[in-house]
Amino acid sequence: MAATDTALIPEITAHRVDRPQRGWVSWVTTTDHKKIGILYLVTTFVFFILGGVEALLMRVQLGAPDNTFLTPSVYNSLFTLHGTTMIFLFVVPILAGFGNYFLPLMIGARDMAFPKLNALSYWLLLAGGLVFYLSLFFSPPEAGWTSYAPLSLETYSESGGMDAWIFLIHLTGISSLLGAINFYATIANMRAPGMGWGRLPLFVWTLLVYAILLILALPVIAGAVTLLLTDRHFGTGFFDQGQGGDPLLWQHLFWFFGHPEVYIMILPGFGMVSEILPVFARKPIFGYKAIAAATVVIAFLALLVWAHHMFTTPSATIVLVFFMISSFLIAIPTGVKIFNWVATLWRGTVEFKTPLIFSVGFISVFLIGGITGVFLAVFPVDWQLHDTYFVVAHLHYVLVGGSVFAIFAGIYYWYPKITGKMLSEPLGKWSFAFMYIGINVTFLIQHSIGLDGMPRRIYEYPDVGHLATYNLISTIGSFMLGFGVLLTVVNAARSLKKGVAAGPDPWKGNTLEWFTESPPPVNNFDVIPRVRSVEPMKDIRRQVARQSEPDLSPAPVPAAAGSSD
Ligand code: HEM
Ligand SMILES: [Cu+2]
């Protein structure tokens, strides 16, 4: 009898501890990776809208020559807020949000390795965003998302806004670092039985590499902004030429972090597209191993190319050549991926659902950004184009065409899993159409604006040549793009109430998140299936079909006359 009594005790306490919280308290105190994932996704999307509004304000100012809609200093603040928001408060953390929600589900785990640390990551991110935006109430920073010295030193940026930027980098940096350690530990230790490295979903592969790159790159920027802080307030002179320091040291430290950051922003997007294409082409991914290996190679090379952002600073030719060639090399693994994606679609039974369309849009637009990147890696070309609108066009093709389209593909693919409701297909397609046309109208022409010599980060330009027409076209495009984004917001809000019920597996997916209900229960899975291939759900569906099939084997089946398919 005594034995039974003690056996009951842990069960009872477990029930007490697990009693579900309700309302807003449940969100503030949660350590469930799914709730934290939703907090991440919603918060970062709000920052995306903020960054988008900032972009549109700038585009209004640039829509006509000699415009006086914004003052120079407001324009400076807007591009600083916009660039910083989009990178540190939207793309990097929204990918962490997808990772949080889907990583445990895709590897058949019940949560992240360190659930409390996971909650801390989110709250640090929110704190970073709030501290940064509080600077709007005193004096926003104006030194761009790169905060180059000497612009960021006290001589030029006395305002507290610059310090708010430094705290943003510190807080979001710690948030990402803790998140990265959590991702790594979860992937290394918590995979379903049978899920060896060769059966890891490609999105999980890219999250692993994303985590490792964050762990390698973030300490460098954390060190750099700490030096900047002491330069500004404690009398040091690391970046101050007047005190024997060197502003170029900032550029080296910043870009040693900044270029890997570009891949941090794009690799998980590659992973999402690699999950989505095979599902909607009804074919296995072409070259699983090549895609996983290319991810690792890109990450390695990403650590060797930082000075291609510094081609216009004094350097020996051999140094320029080194950074040119290392940058070229990245095109090889990236090309491998693009060919593999196209080969996955090739002769597939392609279903043109919104997640697929965004993925195909991603490939086509990202390709253009990748190609102009190779142009810019040729240092004499960069000497001409550095700091012109050609660079603005390039970076937006990569970040909007690449990261944003992949993120939207992910939203359309996984929204049914998160909410249990389908998004509207027609609205999704309209959203894509406006975004796709919008991005090309906005940014394609900026290549010409740059070739005509218009510098970036200027608030006005004279009415010479084609500048007025080209800039007007670009501004019109940006509003189409904005409208496209709005349609998705409307779609997501509407479907929460009116969406068709999704069921556990609306797309006939390949990976384990589709094995559980939509939305998944607190413990994710009642049973964790054994994984036998890269596409465990296909195996499971096959097994279920076999079990529910009536046993026909002994009866001879007469051949139907005349049928020859
Ligand atoms: C809604 C579409 C967008 C539009 C219309 C837009 C527009 C602009 C404009 C007008 C600038 C200032 C150019 C200059 O004066 O030098 C800019 C800069 C920038 N944008 Fe965007 N943008 C958009 C989306 C994005 C996204 C999604 C990202 C990142 C994921 C991004 C990252 C940046 C960066 C890093 C800069 C450079 C900021 C700096 O010079 O410090 N943008 N964008
Ligand atoms: Cu770079």
Closest ligand 1 atom number to CA of residue 399: 30
Residue 105, Cβ density class (10 Å: 0-12 exposed, 13-18 middle, ≥19 buried): buried
Residue 356 Cα, ligand 1 centroid: separation in angstroms?
26
CA–centroid distance for 519 within its chain: 23
Q: Which residues does 474 contact at the CB level (< 8 Å), separation at least 6?
A: 59, 62, 441, 442, 443, 445, 446, 449
Please tell me the predicted confidence (pLDDT) of residue 553: 55
Ligand 1 in reach of 392 Cβ (< 6 A): yes
> What domains can you pick out in the chain, each with its CATH number?
30-527 (1.20.210.10)
Nearest CA to ligand 1 atom 19: 83
Please tell me the predicted confidence (pLDDT) of residue 401: 86
Please tell me the predicted confidence (pLDDT) of residue 20: 60
Ligand 1 in reach of 151 Cβ (< 6 A): no
Q: In the numeric block, which tokens belong to residue 531?
A: 């994984």
Ligand 1 in reach of 55 Cβ (< 6 A): yes
Catalytic residues: 82, 111, 145, 175-176, 259, 261, 263, 274, 308-309, 334, 337, 456
Ligand 1 in reach of 492 Cβ (< 6 A): no
Q: In the numeric block, which tokens belong to residue 345?
A: 């679609």
Nearest CA to ligand 1 atom 23: 55
Ligand 1 in reach of 93 Cβ (< 6 A): no
Question: Could you tell which of 396, 434, 444, 478 is best to mutate to test the pocket of ligand 1, judged by most ligand atoms within 8 Å of the CB?
Answer: 396
Residue 392 Cα, ligand 1 centroid: separation in angstroms?
7
Q: What is the pTM of this model?
A: 0.92
- Counting ligands in written order, which one lies closest to the CA of residue 395? 1
**Residue 253 near residue 220 (C-beta atoms within 8 A):** yes
Cα dihedral: 20, 25, 30, 35 (round 10): 90
Residue 1 Cα, ligand 1 centroid: separation in angstroms?
70
562 to 555, 557, 558, 559, 565: CA distances (angstroms): 21, 15, 12, 9, 9
Residue 310 Cα, ligand 1 centroid: separation in angstroms?
20
Ligand 1 in reach of 52 Cβ (< 6 A): yes
Q: Which residues pair with residue 501 across a beta bridge? A: 421
Nearest CA to ligand 1 atom 28: 86
Question: Could you tell which of 70, 389, 392 is best to mutate to test the pocket of ligand 1, judged by most ligand atoms within 8 Å of the CB?
Answer: 392
Q: For residue 388, report the phi and psi dihedrals to the nearest 5 degrees.
A: -110, 180
Could you give the CA distance from residue 61 to residue 71 in angstroms, rounded to a whole number? 9
Ligand 1 in reach of 262 Cβ (< 6 A): no
Give every residue of the chain whose pLDDT is below 50, as ranges. Answer: 1-17, 557-565
Please tell me the predicted confidence (pLDDT) of residue 525: 94
Total residue length of the chain: 565
The H or E element spanning position 152 is none
Could you give the CA distance from residue 117 to residue 114 in angstroms, rounded to a whole number? 5
- 85: nearest Cα among 58, 105, 65: 58
Ligand 1 in reach of 59 Cβ (< 6 A): yes
Ligand 1 in reach of 309 Cβ (< 6 A): no
Q: In the numeric block, which tokens belong to residue 238?
A: 């690391």
Residue 138 Cα, ligand 1 centroid: separation in angstroms?
23
Residue 391 Cα, ligand 2 centroid: separation in angstroms?
11
Nearest CA to ligand 1 atom 14: 457
Please tell me the predicted confidence (pLDDT) of residue 552: 57
The H or E element spanning position 270 is helix 247-281
Ligand 1 in reach of 182 Cβ (< 6 A): no
Please tell me the predicted confidence (pLDDT) of residue 471: 98
